[in-house]
Amino acid sequence: MPWKLNKTGRDSLIVLCALLSIWICAIILPKAGGTPPRETLSRPEPRPVLILDAGHGGLDGGASAADGEPESRYNLAIARRVRDLASFLGVATAMTRDSETLEYPPELTSVAACKRWDTRRRVAQIDSFENAVLLSIHQNYYPGTGPSGPQVLYASGESSRRLGEQTQALLTQYLAPDNRRVAEPVSGDVYIMNHIRCPAILVECGFLSNPGEAERLGREAYQIRLAMVLADSFLQFTEGINA
């Protein structure tokens, strides 16, 4: 898979930097009418920490593309790009994993036990933050090759629903305008999403069972576009919290 930054990725990064420069100027430059008096300025509330959960990993590769590439690698590559972009924008971030390998307790002797340990470890890590928002990154799979398009699943609570619907709208608008999928509540069997306290969404970025979409999800340029949309949705969501 083309994980190193090639010419297309560099070109996308240049465009990204230009867009970020415009965005930063729009935020920082004083609006018409001059700077308000010092006594009217107030310190903004800090943004929540953005927790990035790259789904699967270690002994759990998740689904696989037609070429055998595991879902876990796609998830980690996209999560890292979101982290790097969010960090550049001044957002505090944390990742539930930053490697394809996981160190399991030596007493665990089965894959199922290792998976249970890992999901509980991630919940404990996420809940250790007092002020956080969780973005769990996954890829979808279907027995046939037809389905495509991103879909957002959200945890219980109004904040999660609002973040989920907003993220779905942005993904559709900027990456998949023909996509008719809508944000939905996450099912009860997704352990992490049902055992954490903070607002949370799970983003199925696309279908690895669709060869064209799997190829696109492996491209650096597309991963950067995904990261831009997800970071922008987080920023819009947290601005609403602090308004």
- Return the pLDDT at 36: 44
Structure tokens at 39: 């006594």
- Return the pLDDT at 46: 85
- Return the pLDDT at 161: 98
> Residue 45 carries which side chain, given as an amino acid letter?
E
Cβ–Cβ under 8 Å, residues 179 and 172: yes
Task: State pTM to two decimals.
Answer: 0.83
* Average confidence (pLDDT) over 62-80: 97
* Average confidence (pLDDT) over 168-183: 97
Largest Cα–Cα distance in the chain?
A: 67
Q: What band does 102 get if pLDDT is binned at 50, 70 and 90?
A: very high
Q: What percent of the chain has pLDDT over 90?
A: 79
Could you report the per-residue pLDDT of 103-149, keeping only the tens digit for each?
999 999 999 999 999 999 999 999 999 999 999 999 999 999 999 99
Cβ–Cβ under 8 Å, residues 72 and 61: yes
- Return the pLDDT at 30: 39
Q: What band does 44 get if pLDDT is binned at 50, 70 and 90?
A: low
Strand 132-140 with 200-207, pairing: parallel
Q: Which CATH architecture does the domain made up of 46-100+107-242 adopt?
A: 3-Layer(aba) Sandwich (3.40)
Q: How far is the C-alpha of 191 from the C-alpha of 176, rounded, in Å? A: 28
Q: What band does 40 get if pLDDT is binned at 50, 70 and 90?
A: very low
Would you kindly state where each structural domain of the chain is located, as residue ranges? 46-100+107-242
Q: What band does 24 get if pLDDT is binned at 50, 70 and 90?
A: very low
Q: What band does 8 get if pLDDT is binned at 50, 70 and 90?
A: very low
* Average confidence (pLDDT) over 36-51: 68
- Return the pLDDT at 201: 98
The three-class DSSP label of residue 31 is coil
